[in-house]
Structure formats: structure tokens, C-alpha cells
Amino acid sequence: MSVQPTVEAKATAPAAAGGPELLISSLLRYGVMVSLGFVLFGMVLTFIHHPDYFSSAEALQRLTEEGSRPHQLSDVMAGVMATRGRAIAMVGLLVMMAIPVARVALSLLIFRQQRDRAFVMVTSVVLTLLVLSFLLGHAE
């Protein structure tokens, strides 16, 4: 007497096996949560260090002035080392920007494992362009 798997068991088998789609969705989901955690922690830290932001419009205006945020990666890292809330929130934004790049890199690894040469080539070009845009880009 053989037991046939139910429709529900068949539907959950790929997810239980940890397929590529689940891996990519986990990367995106947890990446967003980590990013959100940094941003929220940075905001809380900023308001703890500067309680006058709650009561003074002028002080709050200083928070949003041009030039008050770190603009270079070295400035962000120095701010994180000094436990500045704005720098920690900026790390969260950088993580959020890195998530799509990590997704493309993960897709490249998955396509290489599956030996899908066409998608490896296309994904390699996309990843190269993304990395180059970050390295060569300049914001004022």
C-alpha cells in the first residue's frame, strides 16, 4: 500500500527545500528589516542626544539643514564610531541601497549553480553596471 503525498505537501515541498525563490525573498525581507532597524535606532539616538528637537523649531530646523548629514562613507563611519544617530540612520539607508545589489549577486550565484549560462551573462552585466554606478557616481 503506497501513500501518495497530498496537494498541500506537494505545494510546500519547494519552500521546505529552501529553493532559490525562498532564499531571495529571505534576503529581501531580512535586508529591509535590518535597514529599518538601523534607521529607527539612529532616529531614537538622535532624539535622545538632542531632546531640544522636540521643543524647538529652530533646533529641528538644524537637523534638516543642507550639509548637516554625512555625505561620504568615511563621514558615515566616523559618525557611527562616535554613535551619532544621523550616521547610524544613514547606515540603514546604505543597507537599503545595497539590498538590490545583493539580490542581483545572489541571483548570479544561483544561476551559476544551475549552470544557466545565458542568465549568468545577463546577471553579470547587470551586477557590473550596478557596482560601477556606485563606484563612479557622484552626488553634489
**pLDDT tens digits, 52-62:** 877 877 877 77
CA 72, chain centre distance (Å): 18
For residue 2, the model assigns a pLDDT of 52
pLDDT in tens, 13-43: 444 456 888 999 999 999 999 999 999 999 9
Q: How many residues does the chain have?
A: 140
| Percent of residues in the chain assigned helix, strand, coil, to nearest 5 | 80, 0, 20
